Amino acid sequence: MVAVASVVVTVATVAGLVAAGDRDRGSDRARPEVTGTPRVERLPVLPAPSATPSPTASPLIRPTPRRTVTPTPAPRTTEPRPRSAPAGGRLYRHPESQVLDWVRDHPDDPRGDLIASRIADRPAAVWFADHSPDTLTGRVRAVTSGGAGAGRVPVLVAYAVPDRDCGGHSQGGAPDLAAYGAWIDAFAAGLGSGEVVVILEPDSIAQSDCLSEGQRADRFAALARAGRVLKSANPRARVYYDAGHSGWHTPAEQAALLRQAGAASPASSDGIFSNVSNFHHTADEIAYDRRVLDALGGPDSLGAVIDTSRNGNGAPPDGEWCDPAGRRIGRAPTLDTGEDRIDAYLWVKLPGESDGCKGTPGTFTPSYAYDLARGV
């Protein structure tokens, strides 16, 4: 995400604090053939002359999104109604992930205790990034039923929209919007009836400039339908839409896009998510998300969730996006932020899974994880 999205390495992404792929077709096990959260390619945070990514830009170095100064929004004219955050309180840590595999397989590694306590023991999102509708329902159900059985709330990432990442490193997903609709139906069928958080399609809205006006309208209609289907299948599911991050579009611009995709309607949306696989400070994201929500409109029940997995030191000043040095893990995942309209801090990107510079893209890199855990 460059403001842009996750870069899917080769095949599916891993289950567990990661993407639930497909090792054994027909199996209900939420394990992929190739593990690893999709590598998200983050654009620099420095100002750029244009806010629109060039369609001919190199796939390795993405154009920098425009950084804008956002005026302070006017005070709300009505007293906000009380919001109902997910009850449960505790997030679900899926028992299968690359980092957990590494910790189990390296009991004598001197880095193991720190990685285990600060990364592996934390709950993170489970990504579903492959187009395998025949096994999708069972793999989603394996995660949601695990969460329900533990009395905890799982976080799932739906990442299969056609033309994702505008044909960049994370290209893939469903072959067309009709197939995507069927994929969403299969995903929804596995949600069960317990509490669950769904991160719906990172970069699908913020990074839509590469689409024509008609293509964008079709994608947004598909996303609006997706939200309705998910919430209809499980009324306790909380569905969040792509708001990019605080260094990308202005709140008004992002809200206009979100509104077209159904994010202002409680029938399809519980709000927005930001900073997925990025590094922006939590305080910046809180301020940005509130402005987006104010500009978006809709009921006061809409909120925001923020990816805090790697933002402990904020974004690097030189704009580096690929495994930048000097980063560290951010706030622990929680459904109790104590902040108005901020529903959760989540680890959507699993710390230690490389962007492609300190290790193979999308794979767990212990040296990188150790640096993030130490904050160096």
Catalytic residues: 165, 203, 355
* 338 Cα distance to chain centroid: 21
Instruction: Say how far apart CA 82 and CA 285 lie, in whole Å.
Output: 22
Q: DSSP 3-state helix, strand, coil percentages of the chain (rounded to 5)?
A: 30, 10, 60
Beta partners for residue 241, in sequence order: 200, 272
Element (H, E) at 12: none
Pairing assessment for the beta strands 196-200 and 155-158 based on DSSP bridges? parallel
Helices (H) and strands (E) counted in the chain, each on its own, are 8, 9
Q: Which residues contact 314 (CB under 8 A, 6 or more apart)?
A: 279, 280, 281, 284
Q: Do 41 and 58 touch, CB atoms closer than 8 A?
A: no
Instruction: Say how far apart CA 335 and CA 344 lie, in whole Å.
Output: 4
Residue 26: Cβ-neighbour burial (10 angstroms; 0-12, 13-18, 19+): exposed
Residue 164: Cβ-neighbour burial (10 angstroms; 0-12, 13-18, 19+): buried
DSSP, collapsed to helix, strand or coil, labels residue 237 as: strand
Which residue from 262, 261, 252, 290 is spatially nearest to 274, judged by alpha carbons? Answer: 290
The C-alpha angle 243, 295, 198, rounded to 5 degrees, equals 35
Which residue from 283, 288, 356 is spatially nearest to 321, judged by alpha carbons? Answer: 356
Instruction: Say how far apart CA 240 and CA 247 lie, in whole Å.
Output: 19
